[in-house]
Each structure stands twice: as C-alpha cells, then as structure tokens.
C-alpha cells in the first residue's frame, strides 16, 4: 500500500527566505504525486501534481516540486516566501484509481 | 472558488440528533468523495462514489450514511454520533479518466461539533 511521510509538522521561515517542505512516499507502482494547500477555514486546493514526464513540476503561486525516484521524494519549494503562503500543506499519493493517501500535513508559518 | 460547495459550514449537534451534510459540485465531474479531517491526523477517505455508485467505503461506522442521488450532489447523513466524530468533513469531486492522475477538487468543508 502507498504511504506518505511529511517531515516536520511545523516549518517556520522568514519572509523572502526559501521554503522547503519535505515529502517522502512509498509506492509499489509508479506513483502519481500531489501537493495541496489549505488556508484557514477553507478546503484543499491543488498546488501541483506529478504524473509522468518532466520530474520538475511547476505549480501555482511560485511553488515547484521535484520528483526523485531514487530518493522516493517529492519535496515542495518556493524561492522566496510571502506572508500569504502561510497555510497547511499536504502531500498525497494515489493508491488505486480514485484513492488519495495524504501525509500528516505541514503547517507553514512566515515571519515578517 | 465555487466549484464545490458544502452546507452547512458549521454544525453543532447532540449525540441523539439526526442531521445531514450536503455537497454540490458544479464542475461536471463523475466522481465524488467524503473525507474526514481531524486534528493531528491525516485526511481520511470515508466514501467514494463513481458514476453515482459507491465504490469505496473505508470501514466507516454505520452512523455515517452517504447518499448520491445524482452526479452533482452528495449527502452524508449523520445519526447517533459520538464526540470523537467532531471534525472537518470535506467533500471533493473529480473527473475520472482512469489511471489515478485525476485532480480532486475540494469544497470548504463542514465543521462538525458533537456535544
């Protein structure tokens, strides 16, 4: 069965600093990988996803993630954090055609 | 974002009450989902409906009863809940194309408190 581990339940960075949110997965088949963001009192919104092809995936709001098969990782990055990036971020992998398996989530705090 | 709407946004109920959560998707999708989001736990998939047929039920207690009358609407009927059922209930929809790469679109959730 597929699973997802997000390293660090809380990450805090300064405004303008690099954002790095870590995600490792386990999958017995080639995975489809997703990053979702959840702002307070809202549902989840897709940031980006990896299916096939280019391993560096660009998403919305300046985020990108790189699929590294050898490391079973799909870390999310953004070169320069903005105050509006404060939210909870979820990494997910598909298990079967309709089932997403989510990580525990990482709460990102941006310090002025 | 109004693609997936959920009502009510907040609900407080006693353990003996019966209530229903409603979800509506305006995206023309053919699959709908219920998730439970509790504090300090990963999102838990509860139910999946594909083409209005239930295809997944992740061992959810019978006090939760889903209903999908058509491809645009999904309900979660609640009865005799327990305080540990207090959580954010999220609805999602997707267009199934096979293979598992489909994006799920989420509603804003219903915050449920069971007293």
Q: What is the pLDDT of residues B17-61, one digit of tens each?
A: 899 999 999 999 999 999 999 987 889 999 999 887 887 777 899
Closest in A4, A43, A95 to B106, CB measured = A43
pLDDT digits (tens, 9 = 90+) for A15-65: 999 999 999 999 877 789 999 999 988 899 999 999 888 899 999 999 999
Q: How many CB pairs under 8 A join A and B?
A: 64
Mean pLDDT lowest among A76-85, A97-106, B18-27: A97-106
Asked if B96 and A98 come within 8 Å (Cβ–Cβ), the reply is yes
Query: In A, which residues are within 8 Å of B109 by CB distance?
Result: 42-43
CA distances from A33 to A51, A67, A100, B54 (A): 7, 8, 9, 24
Nearest 5 degrees, angle CA A77-CA A82-CA A86? 80
Asked if B56 and A42 come within 8 Å (Cβ–Cβ), the reply is no
**E strand residue ranges, B8-96:** 10-13, 18-25, 31-37, 44-50, 53-57, 64-70, 73-79, 87-94
Contacts of B72 (CB under 8 A, 6+ apart): B24, B25, B26
Six token digits for residue B87: 């959580």
Average pLDDT, chain A: 92
């Amino acid at each position: 069965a597929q699973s997802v581990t997000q390293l660090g339940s809380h990450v805090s960075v300064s405004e303008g600093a690099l954002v790095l949110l870590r995600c490792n997965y386990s999958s017995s088949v080639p995975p489809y990988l997703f990053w979702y963001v959840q702002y307070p009192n809202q549902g989840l919104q897709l940031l980006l996803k990896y299916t096939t092809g280019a391993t560096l995936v660009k998403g919305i709001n300046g985020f990108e993630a790189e699929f590294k098969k050898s490391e079973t990782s799909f870390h999310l990055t953004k070169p320069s954090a903005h105050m509006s990036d404060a939210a909870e971020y979820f990494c997910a992998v598909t298990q079967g055609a309709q089932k997403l398996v989510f990580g525990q989530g990482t709460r990102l705090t941006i310090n002025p | 974002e109004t693609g997936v709407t959920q009502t009510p946004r907040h609900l407080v109920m006693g353990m003996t009450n019966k209530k229903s959560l409603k979800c509506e998707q305006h995206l023309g999708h053919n699959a709908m989902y219920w998730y439970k989001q509790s504090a300090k736990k990963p999102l838990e998939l509860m139910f999946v409906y594909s083409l209005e047929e239930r295809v997944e039920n992740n061992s959810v207690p019978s006090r939760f009863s889903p209903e999908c009358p058509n491809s645009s609407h999904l309900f979660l009927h609640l009865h005799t809940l327990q305080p540990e059922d207090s959580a954010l209930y999220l609805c999602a929809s997707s267009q199934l194309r096979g293979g598992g790469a489909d994006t799920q679109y989420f509603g804003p959730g219903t915050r449920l408190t069971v007293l």
